[in-house]
Structure 1
């Protein structure tokens, strides 16, 4: 019957490799010399190879022993990291929160939230994943991320905490026929070239809905999955775009206020509501619930 090698057995092997003497290694481990000697014999029997040479001065790993020590150290390190990671997930004060967020929030909302969380729970650790909306939901489903900042509210088994309402604006390049206007109706942009996010993104669906409601079929000049790049392409004179107001003007684009009352997007925190949050993630969620909305 095959014996089972324990993590502590591997620690004993590592101690022998470090001290090169059974008595000294046993003392370091808080065990006895006979116990450690039996452990080494059992491991060698289990692996079918002699790992240490014995002489009057102590024990010395042979080439096979060197290989076994490298493997043992790797396994022990992995196990110790696993224990630390699991302990962190279940500690609401110093645990780890796995947070995904949209690219468009990387330089605005996310830094503000992290700053506030750090002030409230300084030992809480946040692992960040910046990715498109469809990847965010896939990671939530797979458990890679536990919380996410996204927009719009996803359908399905997801909780939702609204955090910020962002007003959308029309941006045009300098010299455009609408550049001197302070506001306009979306119906006035029929026939214009548009720069926007590719299909499949939540923001693209929002833009399409707004234009459809206004009776406008846009002529798509460029599609790119980053709102800062969309603004840059507009600044280069390659079309117009609908973006959150804060993106306007970075490369000289002109912001025009839309008269459509629904020209906005809601950003929120989402999570799978069919599984419990870890204490660390629950702490993060509870804090945001008390501080929302963000202006």
Structure 2
């Protein structure tokens, strides 16, 4: 049973006339008749009642027509969707990104791309680094906006830029008037930290280790606004990317002079896995944006 046979059957069923159907399909009437006879033979039943020069669907034909129309419409929709995906300017790109990128980094990237290519659908998945990598490995997303990927030779990772990290303290803290500080000066402070499953926890722990201490963790959170909020309540200090969501009357930002605290941010995709045209377009645009 072929798609063409089903289309021929549908046209005959709608016109109720082989000659008219053949003209619409731009084929000879004998060729159309042979196609319908072959279809009926495959099904083991007749689909039409012959009435003079016209034909009418019988009970079997009426039931079959409903299914054929649904099937052909679904196939047509599928072909249309594939054609949209083949076009880089109308397709879809899916991106996994870390929770801490949702405040400024990702919105800026998406806005810049959307201004250039407004008809590309962008699907976003906010997650921790481990879940983001797994989504990429499972081919659930095209790209990941994440920190460096280790231990996965099947993944390409392209560095985009460095993001500086700052010390944030309550406005009434003893260090609040300082403009800069060495990380070694805060070894005994209570820390508000990211949860262990988040990549930022390891990044900050490494800087603290470099400064000669292990941070005393009092509270944990999953995102920058939560950590900043806990700091503003006087519950500890934290190291996070620049954040402007809380009044300077409640929280103070201090530059860390030593060591240079930062994190690399980049774009990841699977090696040997051809991206969709829209995914490839997004990747090239983002890399060009940060050159």
Q: Report if the CA contact (8 A) 1:165-1:267 is conserved.
A: yes
Q: Which residue of 2 aligns with 1:76?
A: 72
Name the CA shift for 1:44/1:241 in 2 (closer, same or farther; >3 Å).
farther
1:129 aligns with 2:127: no
Q: Which residue of 2 aligns with 1:98?
A: 94
1:206, distance to aligned residue in structure 2 (A): 0.6
* Aligned counterpart in structure 1 of residue 257 of structure 2, from 255, 259, 269: 259
Matches for 1:1-295 after TM superposition, within 5 Å = 5-15=1-11, 27-31=23-27, 39=35, 42-43=38-39, 45-47=41-43, 59-60=56-57, 62=59, 68-69=64-65, 71-123=67-119, 125-132=120-127, 133-155=129-151, 156-246=153-243, 249=246, 252-293=250-291
Whose Rg is larger? 2
Q: TM-score, normalised by structure 2?
A: 0.77
For structure 1, the residue ranges without an aligned partner over 5 or more in a row are none
1:266, distance to aligned residue in structure 2 (A): 1.6
Deviations 1:65-112 (A, max 9, x none): 666455444443443344344434443454433333223323422232
Worse overlay, 14-23 or 186-195:
14-23
Q: Report if the CA contact (8 A) 1:93-1:280 is conserved.
A: yes
Count of residue pairs the alignment pairs up: 287
CA distance in 1: counterparts of 2:243 and 2:212, whole angstroms: 26
In structure 2, the residue corresponding to 1:258 is in which secondary structure?
strand
In structure 1, the residue corresponding to 2:96 is in which secondary structure?
strand
Q: Report if the CA contact (8 A) 1:248-1:254 is conserved.
A: no
1:267, distance to aligned residue in structure 2 (A): 1.3
1:37, distance to aligned residue in structure 2 (A): 5.5
